[in-house]
Amino acid sequence: MLEPAGRVVMVSGASRGIGLAIARRLHAEGYALSLGVRSPGRVKAFADLDPARVLVQAFDAQRPEHAAAWVDATLARFGRIDVLVNNAGILRALDLRSGDEDVLDEMWAVNVKAPYRLIRQALPHLEQSGHGRIVNVASTDGKRYRDTVSVAYAMTKHAVLALTHAAKFAGWEKGVRVTALCPGAVDTELVASIPGVTPAANRLAPETVAETVAFLLRLPNTASVAELVMNTRLETWI
């Protein structure tokens, strides 16, 4: 199993929810963290983390130039990148009978194009690590479609799975391993107001997802997990 010491992890959408839970869990493990958030000056959630092992960097998933800037800032601070966790994502309502197509454009930009750009920028450095890791936070909605789910959200999360497998092939020979982590409903603000969502008592805790990420990052190159589904409900296919 790989040891955390000396490894540098980039986490997008790290200011709350799943991203914050991942950041806090990996900090406890001993990783150095580069945390991408939209408004670094407003984030107080990192105040108790060791500043010697933490960089908080501006990252807006809808601004293409931020991907390269964040990677460059991480290298300037730590000199290496071992892990990229693409967590930032949004959910907007859209179906085939109602809703504005602009919603699809917004979700495509944040949920698909932003991780695509970050992978392209970080991949050469992950390859240099020899045991680089990418974790793309997808969803059970990337594994099937339910008619209570935004079609735009399902489309983007299906695309994240395709991106995950493309990245796996791109970096395989140089030790990069890539996982699409597909949780069901997680108890965060993202799902709280969705009609028909899994009741709060039955949702995954963000800390459970974070613990799973910590496990994935410790696996050696000989244990590749391409997809990991964590469902909260009983379904036929997942």
Residues belonging to the active site: 153
CA atoms of 84 and 86, how far apart (whole Å): 6
Within the chain, strands assigned E span: 8-12, 32-37, 54-58, 83-86, 133-137, 177-183, 227-230
**Pair 13, 38: CB distance under 8 Å:** no
Closest by alpha carbon to 95, among 142, 148, 144, 139?
148
Nearest to 171 by CA among 216, 127, 201, 204: 127
How far CA 197 is from CA of 146, 154, 169, in Å, comes to: 11, 15, 35
Backbone torsions φ then ψ of 206, nearest 5 degrees: -55, -35
Nearest to 123 by CA among 74, 170, 87, 62: 170
Burial of 151 (0-12, 13-18, 19+ CB in 10 A): middle
